[in-house]
Amino acid sequence: METMHNLPMLDAIDPAITQRLVTRRDAIAKGAAVGSTIAMGLAMASVPVALGALSREAFGQGTALPADIKSVLDFALALEIFENEFYSAVLGTSSSAAQNTAFAPVRASVSGAALATVQQIQKHEAAHVAFLKSVGATSTLTASDFDFTGGRGSGTGPFAAATTDLAFLLTVAQGAEDTGVRAYKGQAGNLIGNNDATHNTVLEAALRIHSVEARHAARIRRIRRLAAGAPAVVRLSGTIRGGGAGAAGATGSPSADVVAAFDRIYGGATPESNTTHVVYNGSAEASINAASLSNLQGGTDAATEAFDEPLTRAEVVAIVQPFFIPPIA
Amino acid sequence: MSERSSSISIERPEDLWRSSTRRSFLRLLGVGGTIALAPGIFAACSGDDNPTQPNTAQARLDLGTDIGIFNYAYALEQLEAAFYSAVVGAGNFATLFTDANERELLTDIRNHEVAHRELFRQALGSSAIPDLALDSTTVAALIADRATILKNAQTFEDLGVAAYNGAGKQLKDARNLLVAGKIVSVEARHAAAIRDARDTTGRAFAGDDVVDANGLDVKMEPDAVLARVTALNLVRTSIAVTKQPGDAASADRPAPVAS
């Protein structure tokens, strides 16, 4: 049952409650269900140890994660492998010689701070892949399972210019990162469970990956705006203005297929232009329109930028499937 | 202790005067049980106890509820909005920031933090903590010059990311978690942008000082975040945690203080 606490009432309760509060660490120490390996993992600040221990202790040696968590983590792993293989191909460090060769033309123009950025991002994506596998996510995807032209194996898809044109490559990277941010956001609610330790641990880790993807997207926006001639819709604050294909801020004359792809990336059932947000106070739901908040500065543009929006799993699949040769779901 | 004996629900003000309710209420005072007050109760209160005009002396956070977590976020957004409003609203803003790109960056962030603050204010309604009173001397010091402003902005943004990443798991309702998720990624974008504006290496936006070897961002539990806020000597309103949140999922990876 949700409870709402009347603050002045707490004036009277406060001393009684505070006498009886146990600290979080005490609670962990007293938790009979939490085994020594988990406690050690928590103490060592090692999420993989704690997570791995949780799955083993809670569900038995060799038993998979709960199905709801496993499904979300497997989905996340597929996206992370995609991102990691994409940046590895750009850097020429992919295990697939063909992928390295494909991006050779654009590689020479990825230099200086931009190169350092791509290396830093790739390092994180590789870490995400390793982390998700360490906590029980599984995938059979390898470097050669991807077609980064978006041609589903033809090698001549609408995004082929990313292998030769730096500005376009960065726009595609921005789209990939923003898709990642939106995908994790859309899955967070599936990780609440009963706010039990297993779900909370996984949810926290997912949120911490989610914000890293957002950092990536912001830096790519800034590179594009500062060095690659992107328009002002690509904000220096790294945020997303508006929604649909226009929010990508693509330059040049992108093909209809590319425009349609960006429309999926920044559109959807809850597009990035959405300003309506739903909250629940424990007894009632309320919809709030951020574009009509009091004291708002910067108008509707600011209202769209200030809140990132989720994608459903099906929407994410529709966006990324052209880049995966095997079917995904 | 059974669930029945550890909680009561008060639907109307009159309930408080029913002897059975009053006995339960007083008993719960002694054992630290849960007392649920229907929203309508608020409107019936009056005078100093009226939570629609809360006591400005103290902001109380019950971090065991979604409302408490939202109030915690609301407190942080108040600080960020006040900081950037002071920066952008200062008479010498254009003098301190002669680069239009930096003015766009800071003005955008001001706009976003104000929107976050106002969304929480509206979402919380009569349950909202009061407007936090800030120390004007500290504010002036935080915005003394360009380098100081960008440094403090970085500290604020990383702290905000850490706070949301630590608090998300405490939210019980998926709708509220989604709203927090909509905001935290924007804070992360801000953090990356501010870091990038102070950087020439191309790596600071998600540097190794924030993202760990597992590729995970900063994360702090509320007590650690509030201790950092206290250390700023910025907030004059006292912030009291009346109930701690549930267990931490993992040890903190604290947001660094920018240098």
Please return the burial class of B111, using the count of CB atoms within 10 Å of its CB with bins 0-12, 13-18 and 19+.
Answer: buried
Please state, in angstroms and rounded to a whole number, the distance separating the CA atoms of residues B214 and A130.
8
> Tokens 């909680």 sit at which residue?
B7
Percent pLDDT > 70 in chain B is 78
C-beta separation of B150 from B242 below 8 A:
no
- Cβ distance B169 to A16 less than 8 Å, yes or no, reads no
Q: Chain B partners of A116 at a C-beta cutoff of 8 Å? A: 201-203
Q: Closest Cα partner for A183 from A293, A34, A328, A44? A: A328
* pLDDT per residue as tens digits for the range B164-186: 999 999 999 999 999 999 999 99
A280 beta partners: A285
What is the count of residue pairs from A and B with beta carbons less than 8 Å apart? 370
> What sign results for the dihedral spanned by CA atoms A286, A306, B187, B127?
negative
Nearest CA in chain A to B240: A14
| pLDDT greater than 60 at residue B210 | yes
- Cβ distance B67 to A294 less than 8 Å, yes or no, reads no
Residue range B215-235: average pLDDT?
97
Residue of B39, B111, B119 with shortest CB distance to A283 = B39
Distance of CA A225 to the CA centre of its chain: 22
Q: Chain A partners of B244 at a C-beta cutoff of 8 Å? A: 21, 23-24
> Tokens 């905001």 sit at which residue?
B183
Q: Which residues 246-265 of A are in CB contact (within 8 Å) with B? A: none
- pLDDT given at position B4: 35
| pLDDT greater than 50 at residue A31 | no
- For the ranges A40-54, B42-56, B83-97, the one whose mean pLDDT is highest: B83-97
Q: Which residues 138-177 of A are in CB contact (within 8 Å) with B? A: none
- Cβ distance B68 to A216 less than 8 Å, yes or no, reads no
Instruction: Check if A188 contacts B (Cβ < 8 Å).
Output: yes
ipTM confidence score = 0.84
| pLDDT greater than 60 at residue A126 | yes
Give how far A310 is from chain B: nearest CA, Å: 8
- Cβ distance A236 to B108 less than 8 Å, yes or no, reads yes
Please state, in angstroms and rounded to a whole number, the distance separating the CA atoms of residues A185 and A249.
22
Banded model confidence at residue A65, pLDDT cuts 50, 70, 90 = confident
Q: Closest Cα partner for A173 from A269, A88, A75? A: A88
Cα separations in angstroms, A227 against A115, A170, A231, B109, B251: 13, 11, 11, 21, 39
Banded model confidence at residue B14, pLDDT cuts 50, 70, 90 = very low
C-beta separation of A111 from A159 below 8 A:
no
| pLDDT greater than 60 at residue B1 | no
Nearest CA in chain A to B160: A211
**Amino acid at residue number B21:** T
- Cβ distance B214 to A282 less than 8 Å, yes or no, reads no
Burial A255-289 (b: 16+ CB within 10 A, else e): eeebbebbbbbbbbebbbbbbebebbbbeeeeebe
Looking at residue B201, what DSSP letter applies?
S
Banded model confidence at residue A30, pLDDT cuts 50, 70, 90 = very low
Q: What does the DSSP assignment read for A10-50?
A: HHHHHHHHHHHPPPHHHHHHH-TTS-HHHHHHHHTT-HHHH
* pLDDT per residue as tens digits for the range A272-301: 999 999 999 989 999 999 999 999 999 999
- Cβ distance A2 to B173 less than 8 Å, yes or no, reads yes
Give how far A134 is from chain B: nearest CA, Å: 10
Instruction: Check if A222 contacts B (Cβ < 8 Å).
Output: yes
Please state, in angstroms and rounded to a whole number, the distance separating the CA atoms of residues A310 and A243.
12
Q: Chain A partners of B172 at a C-beta cutoff of 8 Å? A: 2, 192, 195
Q: Chain B partners of A204 at a C-beta cutoff of 8 Å? A: 165-166, 168-169, 219, 249-250
Instruction: Check if A133 contacts B (Cβ < 8 Å).
Output: no
Please return the burial class of B92, using the count of CB atoms within 10 Å of its CB with bins 0-12, 13-18 and 19+.
Answer: exposed
* pLDDT per residue as tens digits for the range A159-168: 999 999 999 9
Half-sphere exposure of B27 (CA within 13 A, CB side): 12
* pLDDT per residue as tens digits for the range B111-164: 999 999 999 999 999 999 999 999 999 999 999 999 999 999 999 999 999 999
Candidates B55, B110, B216, B241: best to mutate against A (most CBs of A within 10 A) is B216
Please return the burial class of A67, using the count of CB atoms within 10 Å of its CB with bins 0-12, 13-18 and 19+.
Answer: exposed
Banded model confidence at residue A124, pLDDT cuts 50, 70, 90 = very high
Instruction: Check if A198 contacts B (Cβ < 8 Å).
Output: no
- pLDDT given at position B6: 39
Q: Chain A partners of B189 at a C-beta cutoff of 8 Å? A: 214-215, 217-218, 237-239, 308
Residue range A202-212: average pLDDT?
98
Q: Chain B partners of A32 at a C-beta cutoff of 8 Å? A: none
- How do beta strands A285-289 and A276-280 pair? antiparallel
C-beta separation of A315 from A264 below 8 A:
yes
Contacts of A105 (CB under 8 A, 6+ apart): A163, A164
Instruction: Check if A81 contacts B (Cβ < 8 Å).
Output: no
Nearest CA in chain B to A22: B244
Q: Chain B partners of A5 at a C-beta cutoff of 8 Å? A: 35, 37, 62, 65, 67-68, 242
Give how far B52 is from chain A: nearest CA, Å: 10
Q: Which two tokens stand for residue A6?
A: 């009347």
Percent pLDDT > 90 in chain A is 77
Residue of A188, A222, A310 with shortest CB distance to B193 = A222
- pLDDT given at position B48: 39
Please return the burial class of A227, using the count of CB atoms within 10 Å of its CB with bins 0-12, 13-18 and 19+.
Answer: middle
Cα separations in angstroms, A182 against A109, A186, A188, B57, B161: 29, 6, 10, 40, 17
| Local structure of B148: helix, strand or coil | helix
Comparing A7-16, A149-158, A242-251, B243-252, the range with the smallest average pLDDT is: A7-16
Residue of B127, B177, B189 with shortest CB distance to A189 = B177
Looking at residue A165, what DSSP letter applies?
-
Give how far B91 is from chain A: nearest CA, Å: 18
> Tokens 């005078």 sit at which residue?
B47
